[in-house]
C-alpha cells in the first residue's frame, strides 16, 4: 500500500510533538534509565564504596547472594512484612472508608483527620511510636499494666516476634489512609439506585455489601493492592528508623540489606546486585499492575 | 378493595414539603400514572410506596397491610428504576434471578422462573451477557424482567422510558400496555410525559407542588380538568388560558377580557362575579371565520395539520387548522371561539374549575389525544 507523502503542516505538527515530549524524555532518561542501567552495571563489579574503585567479577555477586543466608532471610522478612501490613491496610482502609461513607455527623472532620498518619513525616511518626512503645516510660505499657492486662512491661521493638509485629502495625497505621481515600472515592460513585434495587430485591445489609459494594470496589482494590504491594515491598525509612533491622537482623528487609551492603559494609557492587534482584521481584507486581490498569481502561 | 392506599400522607424534607395531604386509592389491577412537572412530589410518592422514603405522617397500605414500617424487600413490590439499576457485574440471567435468590427460591425453581420471564421478554439469547453489552432498550427489558420474575403484588415504574429514544419509547409503551393487560397487576407509573400517562393509564394522578390536583381517567383529565393547573398542563399544544372577569348571573354569564367578550355557558353553582380565567383548547378555536378580529403570529406545519398562533391585543391563542390552508404571519384574520367548549376557572394559578358537570359537549378528545406530540410541556 502506497503511503501518501506528508504535507508541510503534518511535518510541522510531528516536529512540534517531538519538541513537546523531549524534555520529559530527557528527564526520564536522566533520573530513571541512567541509574537503572548503572545499577545493573555496578552489580557486575566488586566495588569499595568510599573510593568507588573495583574490579570486574561478572555474575559472582549474584552467585554469592543466592547462596547466602542473608538474602533468603531478608526476603522472608520482606514477604511477611509486605503481606502482613498490606492485609491490615486493606481491611482497615475498606472498613474505615465504609464508616466514613455513612451519614455521620462529624464526617467532614473525620475524613480530614483520617489522613493525618499518611501526611505526617515518617521520622516524626516513628519518633512518636517509639515513645509509645518504650518499655520504661511508654504509655502502651503503662496503660496495659494499669489495666492489669500484663504484669511486666513488654519489649515491643527489642524482641521477636514483637518487633516484626510492631513494625507491621505501624506500617498499617501509616499507610491505611491511602486505601481509605481511594476506596472512599470509588464508594461515592456507586449509584444509590443499585442499593435501592437490592433492598427491593430483598437483600439485607450484608448481602448488599457482598453483592453491590464489593464487586464495584474490585477494580480499585486490585489497583490499590498492586501499588501498595510495590511500595510496601521497597519500604525503607519506617523500618530502618523503627528497628534498624533488629533485633540482630530479624526485621531486616531487602532494602535495609541493600543499605547495609552499600554503606555499612562498603560493598557497592553487592548492594547493586541486591537492588537488581529486588527490582526483578517487583517487576512481577509491576507487570500485573500495568496489565490490570490497561484492561480496566479498555473495559 | 383498594390495593394501594395513601391516607393523609405527608413527606417533609426539612422545611420543604415534598408531598402534602395525599389521599389516593389505587384499585387492584389498575394502571395508575403519577404525572406532573419536576419537583411535584410524584417520585417521592412512589419512593414512599417502595419503602425507600418514609412518610413524615399518614398511612400507606398495600392490600390490607399498613406498610409504613415494612422493609422494601418485604412489601411484595418490584420497581423499575429510571437508570434501570442493573447490577453491572452480574449477567442478565443473574440480574433477573437475583430477587429470587435473595428470597431463597430453590435453584431448579429459580431456573424455571427465569426461563419463563426471559421467554416472555425475548431475553433468552442475552442471558449470559453483561448489562454493559446491551442496548438501552435491552437493558430496559432486563430491568422489567427483574421486576416481573417474582410476580409481585404491585409494580412501581419510575420514568422507565425516559432514557430511550423517541421511537423505542413508543415501542416500549405499547409493550408495557400489553404486559399490563396480560398480567393484570397493579402498576404505579411515574412520568413527566403526558403522552405516556394519557396512553397507558387507567387513571392519572396529576400532581403539582406536592399536592394531588386531580385523580381521574385520562379522558376526564383532558375534558374536565379540575383546576387551572391541570388544564394548562395537559394537552399539546397547550390550552390557552385567558385572564378576565365573569359578570352576569346564573344562566346568563359573560366572560370579558381585553378584546374578547364571550357568553359563558355551562357554568356550575360555584361561578361568581369577578376575576376568573377562561381556558380554550386549540380545537375550540376556529380560524378564518368568525366575528373577532385577530392577528396571525405563527404557523407551525406538522404535516397533518397546522398549529396556528393568533393574537388579540396581548392575548395569544393557539389553534389548529387543516394543512391545506395557507397563512402568512402578520395577516389579519377573523376567529371565533365555540361557546360550548371553553373551560372556566376561579382566580389564581390553581383556580378551581367552574363549569357544570357533566362536561360540555364536543371536546372530542380522541382526535386531540392522537395528536399529542412526544414533547412534554
The pLDDT value given to residue A200: 93
Alpha-carbon dihedral angle through residues B87, B89, B95, B100, given to the nearest 10 degrees: -100
How far apart (Å, rounded) are the C-alpha atoms in residues B160 and B151? 18
Tell me the three state secondary structure of residue A175: helix
- 3 state DSSP class of B255: strand
In the predicted structure, residue B2 carries a pLDDT above the cut 60? no
CATH code for the structural domain at B2-223: 3.40.50.300
Q: Name the residue in chain A with its Cα closest to that of B104.
A: A202
Q: Mean pLDDT across chain B, nearest whole number? A: 87
SS3 B186: strand
Alpha-carbon distances, residue B342 vs A273, B233, B264, B317, B353 (angstroms): 95, 16, 8, 13, 11
Q: How far is A59 from chain B (nearest CA, A)?
A: 49
Shortest CA distance from B149: residue in chain A? A201
Question: For residue range B232-241, what is the model confidence (pLDDT) as tens digits?
Answer: 999 888 899 9
Task: Please provide the distance, in angstroms rounded to a whole number, between the alpha carbons at the two ends of chain B.
Answer: 35
Among A196, A202, A203, select the one facing B85 at the smallest CB separation: A196
* Number of neighbouring beta carbons within 10 Å of residue A8: 7
pLDDT value of residue B327:
81
Q: What percentage of residues in chain B have a pLDDT greater than 70?
A: 94
Is the per-residue pLDDT at B97 higher than 90?
yes
pLDDT, tens digit (0-9, with 9 covering 90-100), for B329-373: 888 999 988 888 889 998 888 889 988 876 544 444 433 343 444
Which residue of B lies nearest to A216 if distances are taken between CA atoms?
A: B89
ipTM of this model? 0.81
> What are the chain A neighbours of B50 within 8 Å (beta carbons)?
196, 200
Give per-residue pLDDT as tens, B43-82.
Answer: 999 999 999 999 999 999 998 899 999 999 889 899 999 9
What phi and psi values does residue B104 have, to the nearest 5 degrees? 70, 25
In this predicted model, what pLDDT tens digit does every residue of B146-178 receive, in sequence order?
Answer: 998 988 889 999 998 888 888 888 888 888 899
Given the DSSP bridges, would you call strands B16-27 and B2-13 parallel, antiparallel or unpaired?
Answer: antiparallel
CA distance A186 to chain B (A): 15
Question: Domain range for residue A99?
Answer: 60-64+79-298
Of chain A, the percentage scoring pLDDT greater than 70 comes to 98
DSSP A24-64: HHHHHIIIIIHHHHHHHHHTTEEEETTTTEEEE-TTHHHHH
Sketch the domain layout of chain B as residue ranges.
Answer: 2-223, 236-359
pLDDT of residue A58: 82
- Residue identified by cell 395513601 is B6
Number of neighbours of residue A186 by Cβ within 10 angstroms: 20
Question: Chain B contacts of A194, Cβ < 8 Å?
Answer: 85, 87
Residue A192 lies in a domain: yes
Q: Distance, in angstroms, between B91 CA and closest chain A CA? A: 13
pLDDT at position A51: 80
Beta partners for B287? B335
B18 confidence band (pLDDT: 50, 70, 90): very high
**Residue A125 to chain B, least CA–CA distance (Å):** 41
pLDDT at residue B13 tops 80: yes
* DSSP string for residues in B191-250: ES-HHHHHHH-SEEEEEETTEEEEEE-HHHHHHS-SBHHHHHHSSSSPPEEEEEEEEEET
Note whether residue A108 is domain-resident: yes
Count, residues in chain A: 299
Burial of A266 (C-beta count, 10 Å sphere; 0-12/13-18/19+): middle
Q: Rounded distance, CA B61 to CA A146, Å? A: 58
Assess contact for B190 and B43: CB atoms under 8 A.
yes
Q: What pLDDT score does B24 carry?
A: 92
Rounded Cα distance, B332 and B287, in Å: 11
Q: Which three cell numbers stand for residue B92?
A: 442478565
What is the number of domains present in chain A? 1
For B236-359, which CATH class?
mainly beta
Chain A residues within 8 A of B159 when measuring between CB atoms: none
Q: Which residue of B has its CA nearest to A215?
A: B89
Q: How confident is the model at residue B264 (pLDDT cuts 50, 70, 90)?
A: confident
Task: State pLDDT tens for residues A90-107.
Answer: 999 999 999 888 877 788
**Low-confidence stretches of chain A (pLDDT beneath 70):** 1-2, 295-299
pLDDT score at B364: 43
Contacts for B240 with CB less than 8 Å, ≥ 6 apart: B279, B280, B281, B282, B285, B315, B316, B317, B318
- Whether B2-223 shares its CATH topology with B236-359 is answered no
Supply the CATH number for residue A156's domain: 1.10.3720.10
Amino acid at each position: 500500500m502506497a503511503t501518501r507523502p506528508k504535507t508541510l503542516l503534518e511535518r510541522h505538527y510531528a516536529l512540534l510533538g517531538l519538541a513537546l515530549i523531549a524534555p520529559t524524555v530527557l528527564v526520564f532518561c536522566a533520573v530513571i534509565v541512567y541509574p537503572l542501567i548503572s545499577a545493573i552495571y555496578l552489580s557486575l563489579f566488586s566495588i569499595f564504596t568510599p573510593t568507588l574503585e573495583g574490579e570486574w567479577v561478572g555474575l559472582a555477586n549474584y552467585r554469592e547472594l543466592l547462596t547466602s543466608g542473608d538474602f533468603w532471610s531478608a526476603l522472608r522478612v520482606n514477604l511477611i512484612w509486605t503481606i502482613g501490613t498490606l492485609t491490615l491496610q486493606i481491611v482497615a482502609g475498606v472498613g474505615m472508608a465504609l464508616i466514613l461513607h455513612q451519614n455521620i455527623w462529624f464526617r467532614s472532620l473525620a475524613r480530614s483527620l483520617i489522613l493525618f498518619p499518611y501526611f505526617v513525616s515518617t521520622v516524626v511518626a516513628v519518633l512518636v511510636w517509639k515513645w509509645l512503645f518504650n518499655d520504661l516510660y511508654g504509655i502502651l505499657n503503662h496503660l496495659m499494666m494499669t489495666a492489669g492486662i500484663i504484669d511486666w512491661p513488654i519489649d515491643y521493638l527489642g524482641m521477636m516476634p514483637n518487633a516484626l509485629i510492631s513494625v507491621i502495625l505501624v506500617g498499617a497505621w501509616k499507610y491505611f489512609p491511602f486505601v481509605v481515600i481511594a476506596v472512599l472515592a470509588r464508594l461515592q460513585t456507586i449509584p444509590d439506585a443499585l442499593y435501592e434495587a437490592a433492598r427491593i430485591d430483598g437483600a439485607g445489609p450484608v448481602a448488599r455489601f457482598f453483592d453491590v459494594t464489593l464487586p464495584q470496589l474490585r477494580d480499585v482494590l486490585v489497583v490499590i493492592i498492586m501499588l501498595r504491594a510495590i511500595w510496601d515491598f521497597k519500604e525503607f525509612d519506617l523500618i530502618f528508623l523503627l528497628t534498624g533491622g533488629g533485633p540482630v537482623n530479624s526485621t531486616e528487609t531487602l532494602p535495609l540489606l541493600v543499605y547495609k551492603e552499600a554503606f555499612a559494609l562498603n560493598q557497592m557492587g553487592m548492594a547493586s546486585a541486591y537492588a537488581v534482584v529486588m527490582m526483578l521481584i517487583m517487576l512481577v507486581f509491576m507487570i500485573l499492575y500495568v496489565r490490570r490498569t490497561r484492561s480496566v481502561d479498555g473495559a | 378493595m383498594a390495593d394501594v392506599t395513601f391516607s393523609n400522607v405527608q413527606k417533609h424534607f426539612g422545611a420543604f414539603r415534598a408531598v402534602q395531604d395525599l389521599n389516593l386509592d389505587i384499585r387492584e389491577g389498575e394502571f395508575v400514572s403519577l404525572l406532573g412537572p419536576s419537583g411535584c412530589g410524584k417520585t417521592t410518592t412512589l419512593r414512599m410506596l417502595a419503602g425507600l422514603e418514609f412518610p413524615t405522617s399518614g398511612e400507606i397500605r398495600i392490600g390490607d397491610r399498613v406498610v409504613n414500617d415494612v422493609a422494601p424487600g418485604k412489601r411484595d413490590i418490584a420497581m423499575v428504576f429510571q437508570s434501570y439499576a442493573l447490577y453491572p457485574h452480574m449477567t442478565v440471567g443473574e440480574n433477573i434471578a437475583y430477587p429470587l435468590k435473595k428470597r431463597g427460591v430453590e435453584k431448579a425453581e429459580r431456573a424455571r422462573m427465569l426461563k419463563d420471564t426471559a421467554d416472555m421478554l425475548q431475553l433468552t439469547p442475552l442471558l449470559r451477557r453483561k448489562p454493559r453489552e446491551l442496548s438501552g432498550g435491552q437493558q430496559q427489558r432486563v430491568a422489567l424482567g427483574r421486576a416481573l420474575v417474582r410476580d409481585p403484588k404491585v409494580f412501581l415504574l419510575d420514568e422507565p422510558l425516559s432514557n430511550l429514544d423517541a421511537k423505542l419509547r413508543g415501542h416500549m409503551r405499547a409493550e408495557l400496555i400489553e404486559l399490563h393487560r396480560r398480567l393484570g397487576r397493579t402498576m404505579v407509573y411515574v412520568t413527566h410525559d403526558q403522552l405516556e400517562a394519557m396512553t397507558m393509564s387507567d387513571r392519572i394522578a396529576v400532581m403539582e407542588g406536592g399536592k394531588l390536583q386531580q385523580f381521574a381517567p385520562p379522558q376526564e383529565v383532558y375534558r374536565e380538568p379540575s383546576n387551572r393547573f391541570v388544564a394548562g398542563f395537559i394537552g399539546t399544544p397547550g390550552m390557552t388560558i385567558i385572564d378576565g372577569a365573569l359578570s352576569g348571573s346564573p344562566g346568563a354569564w359573560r366572560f370579558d377580557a381585553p378584546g374578547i367578550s364571550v357568553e359563558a355557558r355551562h357554568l356550575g353553582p360555584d361561578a361568581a362575579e369577578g376575576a376568573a380565567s377562561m381556558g380554550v383548547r386549540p380545537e375550540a378555536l376556529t380560524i378564518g371565520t368568525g366575528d373577532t378580529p385577530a392577528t396571525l403570529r405563527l404557523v407551525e406545519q406538522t404535516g397533518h395539520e397546522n398549529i396556528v398562533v393568533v393574537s388579540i391585543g396581548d392575548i395569544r391563542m393557539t389553534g389548529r387548522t387543516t394543512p391545506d390552508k395557507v397563512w402568512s404571519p402578520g395577516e389579519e384574520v377573523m376567529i371565533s371561539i365555540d361557546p360550548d367548549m371553553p373551560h372556566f376557572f376561579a382566580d389564581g394559578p390553581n383556580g378551581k374549575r367552574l363549569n357544570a358537570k357533566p362536561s360540555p359537549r364536543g371536546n372530542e378528545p380522541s382526535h386531540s389525544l392522537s395528536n399529542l406530540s412526544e414533547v412534554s410541556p
